[in-house]
Amino acid sequence: MQCIRKEIWKFPPQIQRKSIRMQRRLFLYWSAMLLVVLSIFVVVLSAAGVFSALDKEIQQIVSVRQKTVVSDLSAQFDKMTAQGIAISEQSSALISDYLFTDPVTSLNNDPGRIGELESLLYGYLVTSLQSTPCSGVYLILDATANTQAPGAQSSRAGLYLRLANPCSRGAANQDMVLFRGVPDVARKHQLELHNRWKLEFDSSNMPGYEEVLGSPGGGGWQIMLPGQNGPV
């Protein structure tokens, strides 16, 4: 019986090739039939207005979502603007008190005094960062530690604190890193320096910096030092 079965399954090569061709033709035939049926189904749905109704529904959903996102962003920007003004006011008051007790004509070329100011402002900036839905907070002084250094014309001292992990915003006891500022501030408060840390800001990378600085109340509070032609 086994020999008979083997003989039955031993088809000539020509018959095997014809069988494969027939299988392919059958597959193509059923595929074409399926595509025709699907095409007819789509045409019927389109004629019945199903797709147009679905498009309108999707457009309405997207439109509502867009308005919600725009409203949320606008509210967040307004809140951050108000918080920025509050930070400017309070920081300016702290700087004024400091300079009142130890007046100077300029902060340029005075890295020691700049470091003291940044250390003084650190606590308030930390409190501001912890109480606002932001990943960082910064303050810029219109002065540089070395006016003779390359790029000093656009280099500005200041302090910039950032969350080590912005995704953990809102969690308690978040770790912070120093992104801009004097390293002594980081050492004093046991902070790590960001891997892209720099001592000072580059105002040439801040569009509108000069316009904002030159306009009264144009986004920052300014303190005029005795004998100084520009604000702190």
Distance, CA of 29 to CA of 24 (rounded, Å): 9
Residue 159 lies in a domain: yes
Which range marks the domain in which residue 140 is found? 81-214
Q: How confident is the model at residue 201 (pLDDT cuts 50, 70, 90)?
A: very high
Residue 71 lies in a domain: no
- pLDDT tens digit sequence for 153-173: 989 999 999 988 877 655 566
- When comparing pLDDT for 199 and 13, which is higher? 199
Contact 138, 159 (CB under 8 A): yes
Cα Rg of the chain, angstroms:
35
**Which of 226, 217, 185, 228 is CA-nearest to residue 100?**
226
Q: pLDDT at residue 228 above 80?
A: no
Q: pLDDT at residue 4 above 50?
A: no
- When comparing pLDDT for 195 and 228, which is higher? 195
- Number of domains the chain contains: 1
The pLDDT score that the predictor gives to residue 16 is 56
The pLDDT score that the predictor gives to residue 200 is 93
Residue 117 lies in a domain: yes
Residue 144 lies in a domain: yes
- pLDDT tens digit sequence for 87-128: 888 888 888 888 887 777 778 888 888 999 999 999 889 888
Q: CA dihedral defined by 182, 184, 190, 193, rounded to 10 degrees? A: 40
Residue 1 lies in a domain: no
Residue 29 lies in a domain: no
State the pairing for strand pair 192-198/176-180.
parallel
Mean pLDDT across 174-202 = 91
pTM exceeds 0.85: no
Residue 46 lies in a domain: no
Tell me the two tokens of residue 79. Answer: 């809140």
- When comparing pLDDT for 217 and 24, which is higher? 24
The pLDDT score that the predictor gives to residue 37 is 84
**Which of 157, 167, 145, 169 is CA-nearest to residue 202?**
157
- pLDDT tens digit sequence for 30-72: 888 888 888 887 777 777 766 666 677 788 888 888 889 999 8
- pLDDT tens digit sequence for 177-188: 999 999 999 999
Residue 209 lies in a domain: yes
The pLDDT score that the predictor gives to residue 202 is 92
User: Would you give the distance in Å from CA 33 to the centre of its chain?
Assistant: 52
